[in-house]
Structure 1
């Protein structure tokens, strides 16, 4: 039994598809295909030609599947209304797709042309025929359009011209699918393990069959459409991918840089390169990390340094480079990692979350300079604009042809075939990096809202020339150097030794044997030290004393020149320190004791010669002329030997004849029995083996020895 007949007995394929009846497809074409497969046309009196516009066939409700007939006999599906209300019509228009709306606009245009011809004097029939011929549509279609808008206000006609076939019920809204089955599939599918819909559907089907449910299992494509229509994208992302994926799904904040100026804000971060580099002091190749500061306004990379690891010392030194070259920024943007949240950098800032914040914290370097600190979300590229520059460097530096064979890949599963076959020397890596960073800043065609086709350099230079830049004092610049606490100066001259390097300047004898604090640049130990006492008072600069090669004559001469200049300066300073001579001091002492310095001695009236003691030395006679000449010759010879001893011969700088003459003098002294120093003997022996000596000797034998 199928129950009482429904209000509408004859249905077209489009109406059946739109009604959403159980066991019937949702499209007109598939309804017609079902009718052909099941042979509806073979039932006499159950199929008839459709009257009205469009033609086609209609099917009697009694030949439909059982569940469809039951739905119709229960009166759950209403017959299509002749004409909906205005509000409903516009709701149908809003639910239609772009194609259906375009067709409705074309129909409205056809009606307007018909009415225009009617206004020109044609009858409606003649106007319909003319417009139908012009637009390539049938007369019946135009009459149908006119019937749809009959009695409708001109402003609402567009809503009534929507094709009803475009408004069939969405597959996601079908009410013939058991909701419990759909809930079973959805619950299995919305899991973080992200199972496929096919596997969830198969498991639900097994459960449905085992429980012997009365309702049929819907096809997989209907379940997929239902999930798409009833499960929102945020729900799917949160349940299948997690909260972090849902956070990334939310659009990033749009921030404008149009009203900023250079150094109003700089952003800093570390970037690990995907290359193997041979770092001095490390046994294995490392992937170097670069700490860089970038100007938020222009995008220009302002300062950078390389280090084998991410650490607060490198961040401190790069910040010093930034301030020394460009000036003090108004604010900085960085994440709350240990490299930036160290107390030496940001101590005293209330926004630090990495280390414990106490009221006794010593102010860090950024707070001391009045720089505002903004903390970005860690591991969030949207929060730090410098990540865009790092992404560019991944392609232009890490994959540079000079580093072929040293590329590691950007993740473990993306290792290249030549992984680990080469490691780049640090200096070679640094040179290529400097070149690419310069091109990064100078590359034209940037498309930011402030660049507009210019390079980062052009944008920064234009704004920098107009901005107010705050410069740091010398003492503020020294704050960025690393600290070495409790370095003890040498007892003798006050020299300091740090990392096997000695530092000394002329003033440092004042700190001999004392403990001091030294500030230094770890990447440039040859730049010297800035020395403070333990109370924090600045003492002065200590220069680096680099070890010279053992036989480096130029270095020895330079050292000797500096030593003589220092001795001369100290002698002058010492002389200036004595305001009174010894005689003047003695005179003032005698005057203070009541003795006159120039008091004349009384003259004796009687004089007697003292008899000499028999053991007293006898008066020596005056030397003869021969003895005086002999002593003068000996003294001259001693002076010559002393000259040889204090002024070693440098055959490169002196005349060859003078060198040979000095060698002859040493030979004569040796032949006469005088002892030569070891240096003189070694030099004479080496010189006698030279070709210059032999040439001078032949010339002396032929033309006579030099005087």
Structure 2
């Protein structure tokens, strides 16, 4: 058996990579990836002395399988004794049956020593105890005493474990099968996630052509499972999404927060056809702001598509009704990551960040902005809220015939029968949001059986809330335009209008941010520096441009339609494609001096069948962008939400699984739940008893519950 120096307890990355210990990567780079966590553990990493430096790691940080293999390699004889730390590490990894045997041996030794302590000779004591104890001959007891020679009393148990459990197993791999296993492992560890049987068949076929030695299929999969860590396998076959599932999600404790300390926002498409005042029919989008402490929906807006207009309107309602939050968690969509809202915030996932970017509304109000990780829905708590009420909204009986299904393959039989008028949709949506906030029996860590309204109101009454000043209101009620003043007279030209006041003549060519009312461009603009400093007001001197911004957007879309129509006209007048023209020129070229026979057979195609025409849909869901002003006004003038009234809080004792089911049923029905009940249920649902009872209930029904 190869020997590893017993005193070697500090290992470098190169040494660990060369050791070929199980569950450890075989490269220095792979070891360094694991070592990043090892260096954070006190006393487990140290700087290497001498030239070159680098890090060394204590053997105790290695995975259990690696430590057991390392312990087995240190043995050169049956009576070799490992270092006490290694012995305890190996003992910890033994089955309970083997540990019980070590305890039995220790008890027998202690009985022998007790007889010796009162004057009995060791031989007589061993014979007496062996006669009284089954499976303990005198020879065995003497061997056990030899196993603990020189071992401290407190460490005896670790050294008395049966030695056959600590002996290294014979290596099952060899250099002969290595090419086959490397090829098979490479086939298996791919993002396409092929089945192992397919990979094995392909590897065997290649092995036959190259003369490699193969192994049995079951042996091969066992070797891969042993040599390749599970997390590495999942990452190789499932990518980053699978890798994240291997680690528990972050548990966010909100109990230490208070109402309006932090909010998060996101958008959601409602699965209902809605007819808007301009005649457009489509599925509306809702943007909502949710309080992170209580989960209450504080404000919301609806539009055709997510945009910064509705975000600003919902944000303005939030501050008007409740106050200024300290932190905001946003999705990384363009409607949230626009510079009007979040310019100057760090870690934005959209747009190029420049040093001269003007500050957005949130940084100007002193609100910390955090953007959720892209494509990671768990990072946005409001997603859970949308799942809670979006389905009940879409399937409201008043929307019968307008429901479209939650995915393309789940369309109802009455798909497209009708569209809901926008006024009716907004009324039902408001009712559902209010019901979502007021429903009792919530089981979150902060609600504990209360409604979101009650949870928010209780904390809001004692929380330090900052209200907005008139100057701060001007920030979110105004759009902004980044520009530069005229280099001669300091004038600002925007959307065809000319803005100027006398003070602007002192600031030619200055970079500024103009804030304005989107519905009245002729009323003037408020001029700020890029850093957010208010400079002054500028009147509209020449009103030659648009009256409102929606008119400008309408004209831009009209110009886009004109351009599209002109392209269609060009295509109608010049229907021959460039490829067809090139083919025609090739055919018209002079014939070559020598004819070369073709090597590729050119098939002759008959008349192609006419393409199937899709039946017309019952509802035209295309947009008509002609009317934008009415939509903007409707978004900005939606009624504000109000806080719900307090609700009484009840409390009753519970009893195991049936009690848990009864509480869950009341929670689903929106009935009151006591705080003690909610606390008990949250803890009980994590227990193995509940999970086992739930499995029996799902398998056998109520009769399976004992």
So what's the TM-score if we normalise by structure 2? 0.50
**Quick one: distance in 1 between partners of 2:267 and 2:319?**
18
1:158 aligns with 2:154: no
1:437 to 433, 437, 440: 433
Which residue pairs with 2:188 in the alignment?
Answer: 189
Aligned 8 A contact 1:192 1:239 in 2: yes
The residue number in structure 1 matching 2:491 is: none
Aligned length: 422
Partner of 1:97: 95
Q: Secondary structure at the match of 2:261?
A: coil
| Structure 1 residue aligned with 2:330 | 334
* Distance in 1 between residues matched to 2:177 and 2:435, nearest whole Å: 64
Deviation at 1:291, TM superposition (A): 0.5
Q: 2:319 aligns with which of 317, 323, 335?
A: 323
The residue number in structure 2 matching 1:270 is 267
Distance 1:443 1:150 in 2: 71
Cα distance, 1:367–1:420 mapped onto 2, change above 3 Å: same
Give ranges in structure 1 of 5+ residues lacking alignment: 1-76, 133-137, 489-497, 500-510, 530-707
Largest Rg, 1 or 2: 1
C-alpha contact 1:172 1:226 (8 A) present in aligned 2: no
Deviation at 1:208, TM superposition (A): 2.2
Deviation by residue 1:166-192 (Cα, 9 ceiling, x = unmatched)? 457569864487222211111111222
Following TM superposition, by how much is the alpha carbon of 1:297 offset from its aligned partner in structure 2, in angstroms?
Answer: 2.5
Q: Is the 8 A contact 2:273 2:281 kept in 1?
A: yes
Contact kept? 1:381, 1:387, Cα under 8 Å: yes
1:372-387 superposed matches below 5 A: 372-387=368-383
> Could you tell me which residue of structure 1 aligns to residue 386 of structure 2?
390
Q: Where does residue 258 of structure 2 map in the other structure?
A: 261
Q: For 1:141-152, what aligned pairs fall within 5 Å after superposition?
A: 144=140, 147-150=143-146, 152=148
2:289 equivalent in structure 1: 293
Is the contact made by 2:127 and 2:138 (CA closer than 8 Å) also made in structure 1?
no
Asked whether the equivalents of residues 272 and 394 of structure 2 are also in contact (C-alpha less than 8 Å), the reply is: no
Deviation at 1:263, TM superposition (A): 2.0
Residue 292 to residue 471, structure 1, CA distance change in 2 (3 Å): same
3-state SS of 1:236 partner: helix
The separation in 2 between residues aligned to 1:319 and 1:342, in whole angstroms, is: 14
Partner of 1:199: 198
How many angstroms apart in 2 are the aligned matches of 1:278 and 1:119?
93
Structure 2: gaps (5+ residues): 1-72, 481-493, 498-517, 520-539, 550-628, 639-706
Cα contact 1:405–1:419 (8 A) shared by 2? yes
Residues 1:415 and 2:410 are matched in the alignment: yes
Contact 1:117-1:127 at 8 Å conserved across structures: no
Partner-residue secondary structure (3-state), 2:436: helix
Distance 1:222 1:478, change over 3 A: same
The equivalent of 1:460 in structure 2 is 456
Q: CA deviation at 1:314?
A: 0.9
**Any idea what SS the aligned residue of 1:382 has?**
helix
Partner of 2:227: 230
Q: Quote how far apart the aligned CAs of 1:357 are.
A: 5.1
1: distance between equivalents of 2:299 and 2:363? 20
Q: Report if the CA contact (8 A) 2:403-2:412 is conserved.
A: no
Post-superposition offset of 1:300: 1.9
TM-score by length of 1: 0.50
C-alpha deviations, 1:326-380, integer Å up to 9, x for none?
Answer: 0122232213321023343334556555345567756543344333322332332
CA contact (8 A) 2:126 2:141 kept: no
Q: Which residue matches 2:22?
A: none
Structure 2 counterparts to residues 650-661 of structure 1, below 5 A:
none
CA change 1:85–1:167 in 2 (3 A) is closer
**For 2:400 and 2:130, how far apart are their aligned partners in 1?**
75
Report the more deviating stretch, 519-528 or 262-271: 519-528
| Mean Cα deviation higher: 370-379 or 118-127 | 118-127
Q: CA deviation at 1:146?
A: 6.4
Give the drift of 1:469.
Answer: 1.8
In structure 2, what is the Cα distance between the partners aligned to 1:454 and 1:526? Answer: 32
CA contact 2:265–2:329 (8 Å) conserved in 1: yes
Q: Residue 252 and residue 514 in structure 1: after superposition, are their counterparts in 2 closer, same or farther (change >3 A)?
A: same
Distance 1:129 1:424 in 2: 92
Q: Does 1:369 align with 2:365?
A: yes
2:225 and 2:439 map into 1 onto residues whose CA distance is: 46
C-alpha distance in structure 1 between counterparts of 2:241 and 2:112, whole Å: 59
Change (3 A) 1:127 1:463: same
Tell me how far 1:226 sits from its aligned partner.
0.9
In 2 relative to 1, CA 141–183 (structure 1 residues): closer, same or farther, beyond 3 Å?
farther
Are the aligned partners of 1:191 and 1:240 in contact in 2 as well (CA < 8 Å)?
yes
Q: 1:281 to 1:401 in 2, by over 3 A?
A: closer
Query: Does the 8 A contact of 2:263 with 2:292 survive in 1?
Result: yes
RMSD of Structure 2 on Structure 1 (CA)? 4.5
Q: Distance in 2 between matches of 1:142 and 1:339?
A: 83
Inter-partner Cα distance in structure 2 for 1:299 and 1:528: 25
